Amino acid sequence: MEIFGMKVEKGQKTFGNVKVGELANFTDISIPVLVARGSHDGPTLWMTGAVHGDELNGLWGMRKFFWDLDTSKLHGNVVLTPLLNTMAFVDRNKISQVDYLDLDQQFPGNPGGSYTERIAHIVFGEMKKWANYVIDFHTMGHVFSATPYTVSKIVPGAKAETVQAAFKLARAFGVYPNCHLNLAKAGGELPGTTSGSIDILCMQNNIPCFMAEMGAGGRWDEKVIQTILAGIQNAMTHIGLLTGEFKKPDKQLIITGRRFLRSNRGGLVRMAVEPGQFVKKGEKLASIYDFWEEREQLVADKNMFMIATRFEPVVSTGDRMGFVGYEWQEMDWDTD
């Protein structure tokens, strides 16, 4: 197996920095790549992270997973690109200041394009060649607190069996909330209908892929990192890369409609709800204050499940106060 020019023998791990460009000051821009080839044949799972540079929990989860992994027990291969957007990472930002493009809107990339388009091209070329499954680690933005959840998409043009395999893999990961979105219907949300993302391109190329949205950006969250480690183990067992115990989740929430809640007024926000909480229509979500009065009270206009709530207290008109599911079904794991 030779990937990004790195040779990997059976039962071995290899790793290195892969050059993706150069800066004006003559230094290389590179991304870390880690590959584990099992002692036994099997499929290749590719896990990728920090396509948005400030989304950090996946990085540490993948690093720990890789060094704990015993390749003598691995049936297949694991490829990790834990830090795709290195320049945005340096900026502690979602996008880089090299060309201000969102890397997760540039796939499959362009070899003659700008910096970010070229990274997408280099990575997706290898991904298409090797990956049988992809898990794409994200977080919510750094202004939020968020409960870990997955996102699998019904992508127009993708095969039904690919859509089903991605949905099952996402559920096997084992967290309670799982968004399953029909892109033909999803409108007005972010990222929702965004084209050029890793998961959409994978799905269009018959590679089941889901997004693991693991907590919030700009910080480590140890509980979330533990969720990531358990989820990777579960997903790998589900697709046969590992044998052993598969920890079936109990009930799962399948969210088919979701949206952001936004403020109308500016000021300082005090949230009345927490991520992971169900809220009934009419219940208070948040208040926005100045130094004299309560300027706005946000109330749930329907029953909601809080995926994320605002962590950072400073808001202007139209800022995002929360991210909620408003259409869902609670299901047993077995009865999909």
The footprint of Zn ion (CB under 5 A) covers: 52, 138
**Residue number, 191 or 208, with CB nearest to Zn ion:** 191
**Residue number, 74 or 201, with CB nearest to Zn ion:** 201
Nearest-approach distance from CB 55 to Zn ion, in angstroms? 5
Nearest-approach distance from CB 45 to Zn ion, in angstroms? 20
| Residue carrying structure tokens 């990956």 | 131
**Residue number, 126 or 199, with CB nearest to Zn ion:** 199
**Residue number, 52 or 258, with CB nearest to Zn ion:** 52
- Take residue 29 and report the two structure tokens written for it: 């821009």
Q: Which amino acid is at 1?
A: M
**Residue number, 36 or 51, with CB nearest to Zn ion:** 51
Nearest-approach distance from CB 139 to Zn ion, in angstroms? 7
Among 310, 312, 309, 316, residue whose Cα is nearest residue 290? 316
Residue number closest to Zn ion, CB atom: 138
**Residue number, 193 or 287, with CB nearest to Zn ion:** 193
Nearest-approach distance from CB 54 to Zn ion, in angstroms? 9
Nearest-approach distance from CB 212 to Zn ion, in angstroms? 10
Nearest-approach distance from CB 32 to Zn ion, in angstroms? 18
